[in-house]
A and B are shown apart, each in its own frame.
Chain A
Amino acid sequence: MMLRMLALGVIGLVYVFLLTPIVLIVLMSLNAGEFLAFPPQGLSFRWYGALFSNEGFIRAMRTSLIVASVATVVSTLIGTAAALYFVRYAGPWRDRLRLLLMMPLMLPEILTAIALLFFLYATGVGTRTMAGLLIGHTLITLPYVFINVSASLYNFDRSIEQAARSLGANPWVCFRRITLPLIKPGLITGALFAFIISFDLFNLSLLLKGVGMTTLPLQLFDYLRWDFDPTAAAVSSVSIVMTLLVVLIIDRTVGLRSLRFG
């Protein structure tokens, strides 16, 4: 009994450890005072006002949203197609194929970033445009879509598709009306995850961003070098709340149980 209580105590402390920094940031962002003090000196949204009048942050947020949206759409299309092939047709190379498609997730991000940086210069693409960022983010988010869509394809009764086909549906109608609705949970989870991952990506963006271009995590990192005020907490809170929204959407639409991480 004593041992059990002790174990539960340790587990509780680990949860506190996991949550404290994140909760603290949100509390700090609502601070009315001048500094990052705890407990906050009164509640106020003034730092959110400071954030939305800071042009650097607004521009960075826009870039992050564009990159994350494009990367999510592209990796969802490519990843879903790949998952369909993997589950249905892969045959003897299935295991090797899975390893290959999961590689962007398993290789250290910073190494992938370096590799891409050199490669983009060697091929003349360079980092003058957003191309490098988009390619990198698509690559990194691909495994999240692939793994989630594959998972929903495994428990899929193919006789429904065969029934539709035998009733005269052409392959495209069959995909749109039968397959797509059935794999929707995996698709939504994968796409939303891809979006969060891309929005938060740092190392890759640090090396691949174009000249004069910056994403929100990069801008926050730069800001924290010189300033240490609640504006940074407000920026962080915006990203935390966005993540929370995504988790809630997943929970409400398809349930968190469908979530896959590897």
Chain B
Amino acid sequence: MSGGRRGIWLIAPALVLIGVFLVLPYLNIVLMSLRPPAVGAPYGPGFTTANFTRIFGDAYFLGVLADTAWLGLKTTLICALLGYPVAFHLARTSSRWKGLLYIFVLSPLLVGVVVRSFGWLILLSGNGVINQWLRGLGLIDMPLTLMNNSFGVTLALVHVFLPFMILPLIGAIQSIDPNLALAARSLGASPVQVFRRVWLPLSWPGIQAGCILVFVLSLSAYVTPVMLGGAQVKTMSVLVVQALIDNFRWPAGAALALVLAATGGLAVWLFVRLSRPMMRGLE
């Protein structure tokens, strides 16, 4: 079949949908970010680079960008540390509870993000469940500040994105031949050595995929930082939505969104580059 021309009508609707409503709009964001602001309208005529120079010349924006990146990095690291043992267990177990455990892992993914963040609100707020209990036990007099700070936001983000780390890891770990670990053990390697020299490098593609997913997703998270961060934790997405909806300044919002996307892209590129030696060993 040359060029896959046969049955082209099957793919045409999907291509039109994605081409018209995804590719074109993304190109259009670039255009929008170069528009001047206007009064009484989302944007004015003509083009300018002022939106970008303003972001890079303003310590406030750069600070928020750095905070957002740091939040993403923390979330990714914690997800990797918590997700690996769970994925390892789920990939290698033959327990009859496997199906149920799989649903447990998926559950945060299937429940809406507002609902999940609300669950954390109930737990962490000033008179929330945790504070009520601690006070009931007489451990504290004043409620602990568990939310409206980066602790609460990070905790909830880890909860929201942990499945995105665990799922690719399960796939990667399942594809490793367990005999390799047995061989290493019988040749005198300690369990820690086996993990470092066998499991870790061989499951690296899963780690990489999971880390990229979680990092990119947490960079652009909006609901969780707003609900659990209050006015204290500002992330780039919050600023973007503010510019678009509250202030009706579309070009500024577009520029902020592009800077955020570029930061994410750059971080992913850097990560892929740095972990190339790990991946090369697999070929």
Binding partners A and B: yes
Looking across the interface, which residue of chain B has its beta carbon closest to that of A132? B21
Does any Cβ of A come within 8 Å of B56's Cβ? no
Q: Is A20 an interface residue (CB 8 A)?
A: yes
**Closest residue to A25 on the B side, CB-wise?**
B119
Would you call A110 and B123 a contact (CB within 8 A)?
Answer: no
In the complex, which of the residues B29, B116, B220 contacts A22, with contact meaning CB atoms closer than 8 Å? B116
Name the A residues within 8 Å of B241 (CB-CB).
110, 206-207
Other-chain contact of B21, A119, A146, A201 (Cβ < 8 Å): A119
A39 vs B177: C-alpha distance in the bound complex, in angstroms?
A: 47
A139 touches B21 (CB 8 A): yes
Given A232-B118, A236-B118, does the pair A78, B108 have CB atoms closer than 8 Å? no
Asked if A28 is at the interface of the complex by the 8 Å CB criterion, the answer is: yes
Q: For window 103-124 of chain A, which residues contact chain B by CB distance below 8 Å?
A: 103-104, 107-112, 114-119, 121-122
B199 beta carbon closer than 8 Å to chain A: no
| Alpha-carbon gap, A79 to B115, bound state (A) | 28
Interface size of A by CB at 8 A reads: 85
Main secondary structure of the interface of B (DSSP, over half): helix
Assess the B101–A15 pair: CB atoms within 8 A.
yes
Question: How far is it, in angstroms, between the C-alpha of A246 and the C-alpha of B240 when the chains are bound?
Answer: 34
A108 to chain B, nearest CB (A): 4
Q: Would you call A84 and B10 a contact (CB within 8 A)?
A: yes
Q: Counting CB contacts under 8 A, is B99 at the interface? A: yes
Is B3 a contact partner of A114 (Cβ separation < 8 A)?
Answer: no
A174 at the interface (CB under 8 A from B): no
Question: Are A11 and B85 in contact, CB atoms less than 8 angstroms apart?
Answer: yes
Closest-CB distance, B170 to chain A (whole angstroms): 10
Known: A18-B105, A108-B217, A256-B102. A85 touches B10 (CB 8 A): yes
Q: Which among A117, A118, A224 has the greatest number of chain B C-beta atoms within 10 A?
A: A118
A212 at the interface (CB under 8 A from B): no
User: Does the CB pair A142–B3 fall under 8 Å?
Assistant: no
Contact B122 A139, beta carbon cutoff 8 Å:
no
Binary per-residue interface labels of chain B (70-107) against chain A in the complex, 1 for a CB within 8 Å, 0 otherwise: 00000000000011011001000000000101111111
Q: Per-residue CB proximity of A78-114 to B under 8 Å, as 1/0?
A: 1101101110111111000100110110011111101
User: B17 touching A22 by the CB < 8 A rule?
Assistant: no
Instruction: Tell me if B14 and A22 are in contact (CB < 8 A).
Output: no
Q: Assess whether B11 is interfacial by the CB under 8 Å rule.
A: yes
Closest residue of chain B to A230, judged by CB? B122
Q: Which residues of B line the A interface, CB within 8 A?
A: 1-4, 6-8, 10-11, 13-15, 17-18, 21-22, 24-26, 28-29, 32, 42, 82-83, 85-86, 89, 99, 101-108, 110-116, 118-123, 125, 128-129, 132-133, 159, 162, 167-168, 191, 216-217, 219-220, 222-223, 227, 237, 240-241, 244-245, 250, 253-254, 257, 260-261, 264
Q: A221-B114, A239-B115 are in contact. List 12 more A-B contacts (CB 8 A).
A: A14-B83, A14-B86, A21-B119, A22-B107, A89-B8, A101-B18, A104-B22, A108-B264, A114-B29, A224-B118, A233-B118, A256-B103
